[in-house]
Amino acid sequence: MRDKVIEFATKQIESAQQGVPQIESFFDKPTNTVSYVVHDPVTKRAAIIDSVLDYDPASGRTNTGSADAILEYLSEHGLVVEWLMETHAHADHLSAAPYIQKKLGGKIAIGEHITTVQNVFGKLFNAGSEFQRDGSDFDVLWKDGDQFQIGDLDVTVLHVPGHTPACIAYVIGDAVFVGDTMFMPDYGTARADFPGGDARTLFRSLRRILSLPPTTRLFMCHDYLPKDRSEYVWQTTVAEQRAHNIHAHDGISEDEFVAMREARDATLAMPTLILPSVQVNMRAGHMPPADDNGVTYLKIPVNAV
């Protein structure tokens, strides 16, 4: 069956100018997360993808060190932020999008199926009626095939569910920010056992991304450093993934993938920051309303996850 969105993204990738967009990465070691600033060198317009608000679970304190490094880079290069984009509601770190938006503006965007995620976690955390669950905490909700611009750069949105139901990838010029779908070839793929996650759906999303042109640049959202590698890396290509990804290289069938993924997921512990992350990220990175003493609390559901 023809996939018109992939056909369109392919044309965009093939016509993209080499070396454009300009991409700077920021690696957060405590959560193994890569945030990106992607900009158009002509108009100096920029998007920030998957920013991190540092959080210490022992003290409950947030810290803006990671976000401030991004702010410094933007200022040094005279960049104007148009977009604060999330690939999904992260379960392992808090988003710094509201902090950056307050300083510099820009629109906070995520995939339209965030409403599914908001419903599940809204219920889990027994959020009050102030929590809308209709995506309105975000400024923009993308659906598969949506197109928009960062300055003069063309962007196509791909809905790539599996890790979560709302996951999206951003095709910007010839670069794809794959979110949590695949990781570097020697680490494999994202887990599919979070609420609304599904290994079979993830496999189909992976094959879809890997049907883009072989030279397409792919940028990961995490690197977990496998045992036999000592340097963190997060950039690869479609061709490298198709040849070498240990979970999803060409020739691995859907059923083989699902069996592997489900067996591996059964061995994984929950991310350290899942409970603080999801109750903040379901609100686009905003904290829940403060209690009547003025203090903001995050909840821990006991024996519920």
Ligand X SMILES: N[C@@H](CCC(=O)N[C@@H](CS)C(=O)NCC(=O)O)C(=O)O
For ligand X (CB under 6 A), the number of binding residues is 11
- Is 247 a residue that touches ligand X (CB under 6 A)? no
Question: Considering only residues 146, 174, 180, 223, which one is a binding residue for ligand X as defined by CB under 6 A?
Answer: 180
Residues that bind Fe ion (CB under 5 A): 180
Of ligand X, Fe ion, none, which one does residue 31 interact with (CB within 5 to 8 Å by kind)? ligand X
Which of the ranges 3-11, 38-46, 79-87, 266-274 carries the binding residues for ligand X, by CB under 6 A? 266-274
- Is 205 a residue that touches ligand X (CB under 6 A)? no
Question: Considering only residues 39, 45, 191, 208, which one is a binding residue for ligand X as defined by CB under 6 A?
Answer: 191
Q: Would you give the end-to-end CA distance of the chain in angstroms?
A: 39
Of Fe ion, ligand X, none, which one does residue 191 interact with (CB within 5 to 8 Å by kind)? ligand X
Which of the ranges 7-15, 76-84, 244-252, 265-273 carries the binding residues for ligand X, by CB under 6 A? 265-273
Tell me the per-residue interface mask from 24 to 43 with ligand X, x by CB under 6 A, - otherwise. -------x------------
Strand partners, 153: 150
Interface of this chain with ligand X, residues 54 to 113, rule: CB under 6 A: 91-92
Nearest approach, Cβ of residue 164 and ligand X (Å): 9
Question: Considering only residues 43, 149, 271, 299, which one is a binding residue for ligand X as defined by CB under 6 A?
Answer: 271
Strand partners, 123: none
Q: Name the amino acid, one letter, at 143.
A: K
Of residues 1 and 268, the one with the C-beta less far from Fe ion: 268
Which of the ranges 46-54, 255-263, 267-275, 289-297 carries the binding residues for ligand X, by CB under 6 A? 267-275
Cα gap 276→244, rounded to integer Å: 35
Of residues 112 and 180, the one with the C-beta less far from Fe ion: 180
Of residues 32 and 101, the one with the C-beta less far from ligand X: 32
For ligand X, the binding residues (CB under 6 A) are: 31, 91-92, 180, 190-191, 222, 224, 268, 271-272
